[in-house]
Structure 1
Amino acid sequence: MIRIILAALLLASPVAAQDMTQPLVIAHRGASGERPEHTRAAYELAIEQGADFIEPDLVMSKDGHLIVRHENEIGGTTNVADHPEFADRHTTKWMEGRTVTGFFTEDFTLAELQTLRARERLPALRPDSATHLDETILTFQQVIDIAREASARTGRVIGVAPELKHPSYFTEIGLPMIAPFVEIVRQNALDAADSPIVVQCFEVGPLRELNGLIDSPLAQLMSPSGGPADLPDILYASMVTPEGLAELAAYADWAAVETAMVIPRTPAGAAGTPTSLVADSHAAGLKVVVWTFRAEDIFVPVDYRGDLPGWIRRFYDLGVDAVFSDFPGVAVNARD
């Protein structure tokens, strides 16, 4: 009740609404190109750089809390290996058709996870970010609080774009995500169609379930290869046809696609001819958000290396409604 009252007070305060006439910039895991992903430092920097939304990826703790990590395996993004008291948690698990070895959030309580410190995922590519060593692991509620406090401080609405990671897997191991997720969304008055939230998932079933529980905007994540883990006979490629997009629009509001689904790469690694995905999505009544824009040459077409702003502007010119970027300040400047 206290959070609902706080949300109402903020909505009644002079906070500028997001400008929906221009593409939104969503800070991918925060300003994760410059600070370790999913940390307070990454989110605060993204907000300072002008991001409209910040993105928390959500996994589960052993005691049922929604934890903000890109994956439930945390060996590569925390200092858990430096904790001898947790050495016996190192294990191998079967997840979505493959074996994964490491340390997993579902084997730790929230209290244990918050004794760990986040680490840069790509230290060789991002050495400056790797120097930030003291950031704690956040919960979903803490990220909502960061966005809400920043909204009050800056006078503009800062949204959240949570992604449910591996919800079918977590259900299988007795840690279903939907109920605790919906509870937090409702407690924070983020369950309306115009709430500053976009809920993402690569799976279809959880989005269909959420569509019947909350009115929050929903985004179907899709990539050029593979398909939803909960629908092994379906490929994402079939979901971005005009017929597939029409079916998608029955339960989601956004098509959230990888850059190559909008502008494919040529065999030489250059930017190719744009597809009709943006126009087809809009014709189906869907908004389009594209992921993920990163500055390092390995992530950019050969003809745009050193020119991330120009690469992002290609997508703005095609009429996308939002972009995810590890460097939200670059995406904001390219837009503005």
Structure 2
Amino acid sequence: MIAVQQAVEAPSPLSVPSNAPEHCPGTESELAGKAAACAGCANQDVCASGQTKGPDPALPFVRERMSNVKRKILVLSGKGGVGKSTFTAQLGWAFSADDRVQTGIMDVDICGPSIPTILGIASEQVHASSSGWSPVYVQDNLGVMSVGFMLPSSKDAIMWRGPKKNGLISQFLKDVDWGELDYLLVDTPPGTSDEHLSIVQYLKESGIDGAVVITTPQEVALQDVRREIDFCRKVGIRVLGVVENMSGFVCPNCKTESQIFKPSTGGAKKMAAEMGVELLGAVPLDPRIGKSADYGVSFLDEYPDSPASIAYMDIIDRIKQILGDA
């Protein structure tokens, strides 16, 4: 197994090393190489000289790897707990249901990697070969990469600042042997911070086909989602649309729907109209979704007749239409 401490290999002389000091000010800061935290850092002289402000040396390698990936889709939300990872997993399973479609899922939620559990591969490990790190495969045409595979224990916390997070994301993009992919789905943490900026930076030249933004109906979630959409516009990412998760509760027995998270301000439908983005659809809350995630099985396969599964498939079909893949 590749230990987390070794997960970010030694960088080139012009990049911030993986063992950057805990309070590293970052290479773009005026204090780079000059702050008290920089004392003793292997890259202190390089940072102080300003050489790190040049092009990231990883970019050509990322561009080469990504040249084999047809579509790159980010799954975003400013709010935590709205179902990004669950949606990413369902999207991956739906795409890979076609044996001809090669799909990859990259989990960059470094501090909360839940994708391995949701996909039923939490006990697997990452292996290295001459061509790079090998993804962990759920099935022949669905590969996954996550820091969750590198933890000594599922209880271990990852306490990294920006430089280390950026280094690992860089490696996921340039060192993972994804092969030829039709879709690369990127599951992100909440917010608009380090991980998001790193993905945009590294994929800028390769191109991001768009982002799917996940929310729940209540205003406390919509506020953060509006910021996420604003982030996408500021960095030039196309918003494919918004998905409203937990949109009502459907009883598995009687099929009656009731509102658990009441859309007091109009929900995702009104927010999407105000922000000028498409509402891709609404997925009702089904307790079996959580059960499927805990057991690492496909909800779409287990409960194909559920209103939630039907909503998922309608949304996924719409994403394909928008991308021109339908």
Q: TM-score range by the shorter chain?
A: 0.3 to 0.5
Structure (1 or 2) with the larger CA radius of gyration = 2
TM-score, scaled to structure 2: 0.39
TM-score, scaled to structure 1: 0.38
